[in-house]
Amino acid sequence: MSAMDIHEILQYLPHRFPFLMVDRVEEVEPGKRIVAIKNVTINEPFFPGHFPNRPVMPGVLILEAMAQVAAILSFKTAGTKPDANSVYYFVGIDKARFKRPVEPGDQLRLDVQVLRTIKGIWKFAGKATVGEYTVAEAELMCTVRNVA
């Protein structure tokens, strides 16, 4: 189990500001589990519109953060990195539940576990917490596809 700083994360994800949703990986166990952090700040570009009087991180972006963390786990498990000819896609979301709002100043802890992989489709169980509280959970399905 090893940690990853932002420089290593950028090697595994093509996302960049404002869509990079992973600040640090605390631990990764290839083939099993990954735990990562997203620091939520008032400077996020979605907060002025969601919502002006009570900023809340959109639930779909919490799911996106889980998917980005899952992508890192997939590549670490396979011992590869993405290249210009491939894209890591969401192909399904099941059992998504949002339990509490995520606000500026929160630190989102993303815990994603491999449930199975069949024919290039990965299925994960994701859980997002802030402190001791679960804020969201979902099962995610993702795959890598060649685009060139």
The dihedral region occupied by 64, where left means phi > 0, alpha psi between -120 and 50, and beta the remainder, is alpha
pLDDT tens track for 81-139: 998 888 899 999 999 999 999 999 999 999 999 999 999 999 999 999 999 999 999 99
The residue count for the chain: 148
DSSP letter, residue 49: G
Asked if 66 contacts 138 with a C-beta cutoff of 8 angstroms, the reply is yes
41-48 long-range contacts, CB within 8 A, separation 24+? 41/104, 41/105, 42/104, 42/105, 44/18, 44/104, 45/18, 47/104
**Region 137-144 average pLDDT:** 96
| Domain edges within the chain | 6-146
Q: Which two tokens stand for residue 142?
A: 């993702």
Half-sphere exposure of 92 (CA within 13 A, CB side): 9
CATH code of the domain made up of 6-146? 3.10.129.10
Catalytic residues: 50
0.85 cut: is pTM over it?
yes
Coil, strand, or helix at residue 13?
coil
Confidence at 148, pLDDT banded by 50, 70, 90: confident
Contact at 8 Å (CB) between 34 and 112?
yes
* pLDDT digit string, tens, across residues 15-46: 999 999 999 999 999 999 999 999 999 999 99
Structure tokens at 107: 């630190």
The residues pairing with 111 across neighbouring beta strands, listed in sequence order, are 35, 127
